[in-house]
Amino acid sequence: MDLGRARGNLKEKTIYTKGVEPFGYQTNGISPRNFNPAFSIPRMALDDININDYIIPKGWKVLVWTRAVHMDPETYVNPKDFLPSRWDNQKLKAGSFLPFGAGSRICPGADFARLSIFIFLHYFLLNYKLEQINPGGPIVYLPYQRRADNCLANIIKLQPSLHLPSPSC
């Protein structure tokens, strides 16, 4: 049986899908792992450094314990609980969220994701145009200048055109 038919035969929803569907876009908090597969990120101190009254001498090797980063209760309230709403308006400080790792052990899919986005944008910009729905709409100036309607647009597929060089006589 092919995957498409198998997937189509699933009529009833599981407890998991019933619980997740109401959250819509907030499910981006589901896919990152609580526990990174690389348990630590090795680093070497380039200078003597003082962190919370601990002196780490130059040349010492240290480990960034990723599990501790993602389970820090000062950053994430109830870090072990499933709370998709925690990502609403969340302002994270640098280094407090490492779902793809860092350094030489960064997720190998990160480059693939970047390339996929680049290819998508290439074909999208070649084959579609955006037409503003309300080009004369009001502009809001605070906290930054933008259209009041967030610049809503229609996506219009361009007709393929074949440009052949004309034969020279």
Mean per-residue pLDDT for 99-127?
A: 83
Read off the pLDDT of residues 39-70 as tens digits, 9 standing for 90 and up: 677 888 999 999 889 999 999 998 877 777 77
Q: Which segments are annotated as binding site for heme?
A: 107
CA-nearest of 77, 85, 86 to 24 is: 85
> Does 110 score more than 70 pLDDT?
yes
Q: Which segments are annotated as binding site?
A: 107
> Does 6 score more than 90 pLDDT?
no
If DSSP codes are grouped into helix, strand and coil, which group holds residue 91? coil
CA-nearest of 29, 3, 32, 25 to 109 is: 32
Please report, for the chain, the start and end positions of each structural domain, with discontinuous segments joined by +. Answer: 1-106, 108-159
Which DSSP category does 34 fall into? Answer: S
Of the listed ranges 68-72, 88-92, 162-166, the least confidently predicted one is: 162-166
What sign results for the dihedral spanned by CA atoms 73, 79, 84, 85? Answer: negative
Q: Model's pTM, two decimal places?
A: 0.38
* Chain mean pLDDT for the chain: 75
